[in-house]
Amino acid sequence: MKPASSLCQACRRASTWCSSTAARASTWARSVSAGRRRSASPAASCQVSARLKAPARSHPRTPPHRAAPRHHSASPGELCSSLPPACGWAATARAALRGRMSTRYFFALACERAQRATGATGAQLHTFVPGMEHGSVATRQVRLGLLACLTLLGVACAPTQPQSASTTTATAGVAATAAPTRQHRGGSQGNRTSAGPVVRIGAALSLTGSARMFGAAQRSGIKLAQDEINAAQMLGKTRLEVVIEDDGSDREQASVVFGRFIENSHVLAIIGPTLSDTALSVDPLAQQAGVPVLAISNSANSLTEIGDFIFRDSLSESQLTPLTTRLVRSRLKVHQAALLYTDTDPNRAGSRGFKAALQALGVQIAAEQTFEPDQTDFSPQLDEIATSQPDALFINAPSSVAAPILIQARQHGFKSVPIIGSNAFNSDTVLRSAGEAAEGLIVGSAWSASNPTARNQQFIQSYHARYGVDPDQLAAQAYTGVYLVATALRDAGSTSDPRAVRDALERIKQLDTPLGAFSFNASRDPDYLPTVQIVRHGRLQVY
């Protein structure tokens, strides 16, 4: 055991403050939740959750007699900011405090670490806390209590050198463990197997949920690239291992996965997540922790604006839209168009791009309709659009609803009207699901199987030989993403410093990939030429 005196000063301050906060939040929460429904099963809750019973009502008031002690003037934000960057849990705590992570999953992450540290079994990632079953709890008291729990469980860190021993503190009666420092994050020095040193990166993919089919293609591309890199000894004697975890097509589950990746000293960089909406929610966690993220399927325009640790190899909608609209306008003689898009930030932004590009070409917007993310019947919107008789229909929607929209559009009078889809429609999975309804679909593409370069054709042949099917754009971007990170690891001169890997990613220029000669631009977006494709006889072809 490492003595509590070895904790850094910031952590001792945080623990002192959290001691009173945890007790105060616990007493208050128990008083307002008395008689409310308990957890469905004792096994579904961490023992620590008994201290923090969240109320079901959304805006409770803390009783006057529970006022905060006067001896501590530092705010929670100041305490969180004072945690040293080397502490793997610091960014997670900051993100939860600022509302970027659901408190439910934030609490579950802390509970999982506590169970692992104390030798308990059956850690429950989806820990049930009464009052949290409908989403995050934003009340200040509960958030402070959860921050206290996390601080006590994982924030304590050693000043300089990495430690394998755990730290025990009596604060609030909860065992705390020392978070690993970053001296050996993902490094081969700290990860040796019988086959030699290993460097690990994480991949958050949608293997379940609405985008599970797309995550499966990404996983196949990642595994193929990993095995090729190791067989070719691209990193010398160091073996690359990609740790793949399921983000569930869900922002909150992805926050748990990212939290584990950030806190886990064996993960040097992160690939994913699959969906843009999820990425916009969880990428700030990695940015704050200083862990590079490479997006392999996110086309939301604002993604890399999150910070200088966020990269992507997928083209943004703003990169694809101008070329697509120009070709459609000139070849199809479009004079008026209709827009249909999901009412979410990424899809609204993508549709604004379509609208601006069309209007710049003199195309009139005849109709504009939105739908909810969980909507399955698009009849009201399609019927309304049909009355305007547009020359073309532009759709910006996630891949999970692309096929149903195409099928219903053809059923509602758009059999001969050209449909132009966003980047999410560029998938063999969408084409197979939509069947004949996808015929004639036009989409801007980051990758094409018809690209004749030797590197692209080699990838296609290797993928088909291994899996028995042809790759799609999602597999190609995932495959390329692993090679980009491996190139950065090789060129960084370090397999333990995330900053060095980030800097090496930024320096990549004209790398030969299935996507083309690949470089990152000044915004860390990909810099290569897109193509426009059309579906003919069930297959995407260059338009």
String of DSSP letters for 450-507: T---HHHHHHHHHHHHHHSS---HHHHHHHHHHHHHHHHHHHHS-SS-HHHHHHHHHT
Q: According to the model, what pLDDT value does residue 301 have?
A: 85
Point out the domain boundary residue: 422, 445, 468: 445
Q: Would the pLDDT of 208 be above 60?
A: yes
pLDDT digits (tens, 9 = 90+) for 262-272: 887 578 999 99
If one compares 180 and 236, the residue with the highest pLDDT of the two is 236
Q: What is the pLDDT of residue 408?
A: 97
**Pair 321, 354: CB distance under 8 Å:** yes
Q: Kindly calculate the radius of gyration of the chain based on its CA atoms and give it in whole angstroms.
A: 25
Q: What is the pLDDT of residue 84?
A: 41
The residue with greater pLDDT, 271 or 161, is 271
Amino acid at 223: K
Distance CA 370, CA 382 (A): 10
Q: Which residues does residue 179 pair with via DSSP β-bridges, in sequence order?
A: 157
Each residue's pLDDT tens digit, 109-136: 554 554 444 444 333 333 333 333 333 3
Which CA distances in Å does 33 have to 22, 56, 60, 64, 136? 16, 7, 11, 17, 17
pLDDT band per the 50, 70, 90 thresholds, residue 374: confident
Task: Assess if residue 533 is contained within a domain.
Answer: no
- Please say whether the beta carbons of 427 and 469 come within 8 A: no
- Would residue 530 count as lying in a domain? no
Question: Do 345 and 471 fall into the same domain?
Answer: no
Same domain for 341 and 284:
no
Q: Indicate which CATH number applies to the domain containing 327.
A: 3.40.50.2300
Q: Is residue 278 part of a domain?
A: yes
Q: Is the pLDDT of residue 7 over 50?
A: no
* Range in 167-176, 229-238, 243-252 the model is least confident about: 167-176
pLDDT at 344: 83
Over residues 252-260, the mean pLDDT reads 94
70-79, 293-302, 515-524: least confident range:
70-79
Among candidates 130, 168, 138, which has minimal Cα distance to 35? 130
Mean pLDDT within 12-31: 43
Report how many domains make up the chain: 3
Question: 417 in helix, strand or coil?
Answer: coil
Beta carbons of 177 and 153 less than 8 angstroms apart: yes
3-state secondary structure of 338: strand
83 exposed, middle or buried (CB, 10 Å; 0-12, 13-18, 19+)?
buried
Mean pLDDT of 349-363: 88
Closest alpha carbon to 447 in 425, 423, 427, 476: 476
Is the peptide bond prior to 273 cis by the omega test (within 30 degrees of 0)? yes
Instruction: Looking at the structure, tell me whether residues 27 and 115 fall in a common domain.
Output: yes
SS3 label, residue 84: coil
Residues 203 and 330 in one domain: no
Q: What is the DSSP letter of 36?
A: S
Task: Kindly report which listed range (216-220, 342-346, 377-381) carries the lowest average pLDDT score.
Answer: 342-346
User: What pLDDT, on a 0 to 100 scale, did the predictor assign at position 126?
Assistant: 35
List pLDDT tens digits, range 22-45: 444 444 444 444 444 333 333 333
Q: Is residue 541 part of a domain?
A: no
Task: Note whether 8 and 140 are same-domain residues.
Answer: yes
Of 467 and 187, more confident: 467
* The two structure tokens encoding residue 421: 């889809």
Last residue of one domain, picked from the residues 445, 480, 511: 445
Q: Of 64-68, 210-214, 351-355, which range is least confident? A: 64-68
Percent pLDDT > 70 in the chain is 64
pLDDT class of 139 with cuts at 50, 70, 90? very low
Mean pLDDT of the chain: 75
200 domain-assigned: yes
Q: Note the pLDDT of residue 45.
A: 35
> With the CA atoms of 134, 138, 142 and 148 taken in that order, what torsion angle do they form, in degrees rounded to the nearest 10?
120
**Per-residue model confidence (pLDDT) at position 158:** 37
Question: Of all residues in the chain, what percent carry a pLDDT higher than 90?
Answer: 50
Please name the helix (run of DSSP H) or strand (run of DSSP E) that holds residue 258, with its range, or none: helix 251-263
In a domain, residue 186? The reply is: no
Statement to judge: residues 47 and 136 lie in one domain: yes
DSSP single-letter state for residue 21:
H
Is 542 part of any domain? no
pLDDT, average across residues 157-169: 35
Q: Do 159 and 120 share a structural domain?
A: yes
- In this predicted model, which residue has the larger pLDDT, 19 or 328? 328
Report whether 259 contacts 94 (CB < 8 A).
no
Structure tokens belonging to residue 143: 């958030």
Residue 178 inside a domain? The answer is: no
- pLDDT at residue 223 in the model: 98
For residue 254, the Cα-to-chain-centroid distance in whole angstroms is: 6
Looking at the fold, whether 97 and 42 belong to one and the same domain comes out as yes
Q: Which of 159-173, 344-358, 410-424, 477-491 has the lowest mean pLDDT?
A: 159-173
State the pLDDT confidence band at 186, using cuts at 50, 70 and 90: low
Choose the final residue of a domain: 398, 428, 445.
445
Quickly count: other Cβ atoms within 10 Å of residue 288's Cβ.
Answer: 21
Type of residue at 279? A
Range of the domain at 374: 318-445
- Other Cβ atoms less than 10 A from the Cβ of 212: the count is 17
- Asked if residue 126 and residue 9 are part of one domain, the reply reads yes
- Asked which of 209-223, 252-266, 502-516 is least confident by mean pLDDT, the reply is 252-266
Are both 350 and 291 inside the same structural domain?
A: no
Are residues 195 and 263 in contact, defined by beta-carbon separation less than 8 angstroms?
Answer: no
